[in-house]
């Protein structure tokens, strides 16, 4: 990417999009076409087409999506399917129509079959059934991968896809009904510590294994791949390391400084038993994560406490 090239980051205020924007600014890029969701509704085909016609971005990072944790995915199934399909269909097609040089589509590790072999290799896509609780979201993301692949094959477009593992970092969502597990744990433990609660309830059995990648590491990988990778096959982005939800809860508890007990609510769903990404392809291309989980959680918790203090004031 040329330093003066016009770049559009769809979802630049979200955790992933804001991390990509920070990374590009650090690398000296200044020419951005940015719109908030209020300024541009990506579900609106006409509005998206008009934006691309007027702005003519040369590079696009498609990081906008309707996202949520296991409960949100299972509750708002129609919304997750419809809104994500509309967002990616409109952006990818408009990028094609306006001759965008290169587009990166960001998916999710939930695209893989529920009982796929571990670690998850790129070729395991569509080999068996998906996890039922987030099937609509996964199907939308799979459609996005196939759109990039198909526009490449039919029109010769340089549209690539990356599949991040579970993410955490600045600008995460801490709503207890709609957030992912790590930010939910940080908020629960922090509030319990502040309120002097003797226990914290954690959902599920604690046995599922999960992998976590710091959002700024993902942004670094996205920048690296946008510069170095032009392949048709999507690329897994992760650490290649996982831990149990129980071990994660203990790590967050220790970081926050909560001294009470954990209570496991086994009536809540566990989701997929394990989701570890095979990142050998990414490592082979020359990229590896830098921020390990304990350090990343410390960084995130410091930011969370700062924002809590701002809200109180």
Element (H, E) at 49: helix 45-55
Q: Does 17 appear as a known binding residue?
A: yes
Q: Does 11 appear as a known binding residue?
A: yes
Q: Which of 112, 137, 214, 223 is catalytic?
A: 137
Q: Does 210 appear as a known binding residue?
A: yes
CA angle, residues 80, 172, 20, in degrees to nearest 5: 90
Q: Does 203 appear as a known binding residue?
A: yes
Active site residue 137: yes
Q: Does 108 appear as a known binding residue?
A: yes
Sequence-distant (≥ 6) Cβ neighbours of residue 76 within 8 angstroms: 68
Sequence-distant (≥ 6) Cβ neighbours of residue 197 within 8 angstroms: 191, 260
Q: Does 107 appear as a known binding residue?
A: yes
Give 288-292's long-range contacts (Cβ < 8 A, gap of 24+): 289/213, 289/214, 289/217, 289/221, 289/238, 289/239, 290/217, 290/220, 291/214, 291/216, 291/217, 292/239
User: Is residue 250 within 8 Å of 186, Cβ to Cβ?
Assistant: no
Q: Does 270 appear as a known binding residue?
A: yes
Q: Does 257 appear as a known binding residue?
A: no
Closest CA to 55 of 35, 73, 76: 35
- C-beta atoms surrounding 298 within 10 Å: 11
Sequence-distant (≥ 6) Cβ neighbours of residue 57 within 8 angstroms: 6, 7, 8, 33, 95, 98, 100
- Give strand pairing partners of 167: 213
What's the token pair of residue 35?
Answer: 């719109």
User: Is residue 9 within 8 Å of 95, Cβ to Cβ?
Assistant: no
Q: Does 188 appear as a known binding residue?
A: yes
User: Is residue 197 within 8 Å of 248, Cβ to Cβ?
Assistant: no
- Give strand pairing partners of 235: 162
- Alpha-carbon distance of 202 to 265, in angstroms, equals 6
Q: Does 182 appear as a known binding residue?
A: no
- For the annotated binding site for substrate, the residues are 188, 203, 210, 270
Catalytic positions, written as ranges: 137
Q: Which residues are annotated as a binding site?
A: 11-17, 106-109, 141, 164-167, 180, 188, 203, 210, 270
Residues at the binding site for NADP(+) are 11-17, 106-109, 141, 164-167, 180
């Amino acid at each position: 990417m040329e330093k003066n090239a016009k770049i559009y980051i769809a979802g630049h205020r979200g955790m992933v999009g804001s991390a990509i924007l920070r990374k590009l600014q650090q690398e000296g890029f200044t020419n951005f076409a940015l719109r908030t969701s209020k300024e541009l509704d990506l579900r609106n085909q006409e509005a998206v087409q008009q934006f691309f016609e007027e702005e003519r971005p040369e590079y696009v990072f498609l990081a906008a999506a309707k996202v949520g944790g296991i409960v949100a995915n299972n509750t708002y199934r129609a919304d997750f399917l419809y809104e994500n399909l509309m967002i990616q269909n409109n952006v990818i097609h408009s990028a094609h129509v306006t001759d965008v040089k290169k587009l990166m589509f960001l998916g999710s590790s939930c695209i893989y079959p529920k009982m796929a072999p571990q670690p998850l290799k790129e070729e395991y896509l569509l080999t068996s059934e998906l996890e039922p609780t987030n099937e609509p979201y996964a199907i939308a993301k799979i459609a996005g991968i196939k759109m990039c692949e198909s526009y490449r094959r039919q029109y010769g477009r340089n549209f690539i896809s990356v599949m991040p593992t579970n993410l955490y970092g600045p600008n995460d969502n801490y709503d207890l009904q709609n957030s992912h597990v790590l930010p939910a744990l940080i908020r629960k433990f922090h509030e319990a510590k502040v309120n002097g609660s003797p226990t914290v309830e954690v959902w599920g059995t604690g046995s599922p294994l999960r992998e976590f990648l710091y959002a700024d590491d993902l942004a670094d990988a996205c920048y690296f791949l946008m510069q170095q990778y032009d392949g048709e096959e999507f690329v897994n982005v992760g650490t290649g390391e996982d831990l149990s939800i129980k071990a994660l809860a203990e790590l967050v508890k220790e970081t926050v400084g909560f001294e009470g007990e954990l209570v496991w609510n086994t009536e809540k769903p566990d989701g997929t038993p394990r989701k570890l990404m095979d990142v050998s392809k990414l490592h082979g291309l020359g990229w590896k994560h830098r921020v390990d989980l304990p350090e990343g959680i410390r960084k995130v918790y410091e930011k969370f406490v700062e924002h809590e203090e701002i809200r109180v004031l």
